[in-house]
Amino acid sequence: MKKTFTLLFSLALIGTSLGQKDAAKFREIYSQALTEQQGFAWLTELCGLGPRFAGSEQATESILYFQEVMDSLGFETRLQAVKVPRWVRGPQEKAWLVQGIDQAEMAVTALGGSVPTPNGGLKAEVVEIPSFEALDSLNLEGKIAFFNIPMDPSFISTGYAYGSAVKQRWAGAMEASKKGAIAVVIRSLSSSINKYPHTGSMAYADDIKKIPAAALSTYDAELLSKTLKSDPELQVKLDMRCEWKDSVYSYNLIADLKGSEKPEEIILVSGHIDSWELGTGAHDDGAGAMHALETLYLIKSMQIPLKRTLRLVWFMNEEFGLNGARVYARSAKANSKEKHVIAIESDGGGFTPKGLSIDASDPIISQLKNYRSLFEPYGVYQFSKGGSGADINQLKNDEIVLIGLRPDNHRYFEVHHSALDNISAVNAREFTLGSATLAALVWIMDRDDLCLPSKP
């Protein structure tokens, strides 16, 4: 009983100490962010520079442009060289549904990493594959394999629905090639029916023939499926000029705001600066990159004191190999003068934030949950254990606290990896709440030492 009382008493104390002063500070951070909306202005500029596919000129130019912005704000910046693979979509990617002499064009896009079709394209009959379980019994010899596995709309989190359907994208070509297919088209991983195909990375196995791989828009996947039912002998023609080139060097961008007491302890905030090239990566992950920059900006411009060093990292090439994250993690491990105590990533889009996923020890997670009431007025109420982000996960060890920002994701997979991922799909207020949430989180975690103490 006494234990219960002590617990209740300390909870009450936390309630008080978290009380009005901290709530007022949170209010101040969110108000400032929403009034100024500086991050959204930068995100608009970033998208204006064009797509930022790893290895492209625009990706590197975007980094150099914003390094100047960060320099002018007084952050200590540096570039970290990252070698990235270079795959180019090429001038043409087209598909047609062919019935006798009739051809109807379908919206299609090459999957990242695909080999091209032969010059002039290829044409074959199509076998629809409703699930990976159905593959075994299908004969794909000389055919185009058509994976048509929709994202399940009944999932509340579209992220789970994506996870349950994404195998057709990364493994479809591999599995279909084993069974003799000459190409693969998949249903775009989109949560709505539209005419904008979604790209994304795919892989080949070394010992299996590499066949061209592309995604049809969900609209065209529905059309193809329906037409196949009445005309099983229809053909699809596919013509894509994508190609692999030599790897090139690009960069991670790093910017520090030095801590006053423990500058050797690093609190990292991050997003990835590369994007797919159909849109301009406004949500994926321009929003995350700008959440990180606006976090540093708010902390500095509001003169919020930090004991530890707050570091921004814009990782290069999350989309196509995590090269930047791997390079950064190796260098962090090798540097005995610094210790990463917290790493935060935003890579779920610029929508209203609703929670944090925390990869840390149970005591740290419990401690963080005590602060939930401070975040709730701003819509952030889900503090869940496990999962953070693909880039910062490379830093994982027994001591670091990894945190991923979790926004509302009902609209995310309508634009993700497609030509629709542009600034017009981002709402300034929704985006800005993400930055404010991270700034408030960094402030409170640093002040109250919500991480493992560093060992000398």
Site for its own copies in 342-361 (CB under 8 A): 352, 354
Binding residue (CB under 8 A) for its own copies from 118, 137, 156, 337? 156
φ, ψ for residue 271, nearest 5 deg: -150, 175
318 in catalytic set: yes
> Of 11 and 81, which has the nearer Cβ to its own copies?
11
Residue 394: CB partners within 8 Å, gap ≥ 6?
Answer: 322, 325, 326, 328, 329
- Over the window 391 to 410, marking each residue x when it contacts its own copies by CB under 8 A and - when it does not, the resulting string is -----------------x-x
Decide: is 3 part of the binding site for its own copies (CB under 8 A).
no
> Of 226 and 410, which has the nearer Cβ to its own copies?
410
Q: Is 454 helix (H, G, I), strand (E, B) or coil?
A: coil
CB of 252 to its own copies, least distance (A): 32
List alpha helices for 166-282, DSSP H.
Answer: 167-170, 172-178, 218-230
> Of 132 and 381, which has the nearer Cβ to its own copies?
381
CB of 167 to its own copies, least distance (A): 21
> Of 29 and 392, which has the nearer Cβ to its own copies?
29
Binding residue (CB under 8 A) for its own copies from 201, 379, 449, 452? 379
Do the beta carbons of residue 146 and residue 185 sit within 8 Å?
Answer: yes
Binding residue (CB under 8 A) for its own copies from 158, 218, 235, 394? 158
First to last CA, the chain: 39
Buried b (16+ CB within 10 A) or exposed e, 115-131: bbbeeebbbbebbbbee
Site for its own copies in 180-199 (CB under 8 A): 191-192
Distance in angstroms (rounded) separating the CA atoms of residues 430 and 34: 9
Decide: is 302 part of the binding site for its own copies (CB under 8 A).
no
Site for its own copies in 415-444 (CB under 8 A): 427-430, 433
φ, ψ for residue 202, nearest 5 deg: -135, 170
Site for its own copies in 49-88 (CB under 8 A): none
Decide: is 378 part of the binding site for its own copies (CB under 8 A).
yes
Binding residue (CB under 8 A) for its own copies from 369, 381, 448, 449? 381
By CB neighbour count within 10 A (0-12 exposed, 13-18 middle, 19+ buried), where does 184 fall?
Answer: buried
Distance in angstroms (rounded) separating the CA atoms of residues 253 and 248: 16
Do the beta carbons of residue 426 and residue 279 sit within 8 Å?
Answer: no
List contacts with its own copies (CB under 8 A): 30-32, 34-35, 37, 153-156, 158, 191-192, 352, 354, 376-379, 381-382, 408, 410-411, 414, 427-430, 433
Residues with catalytic function: 318
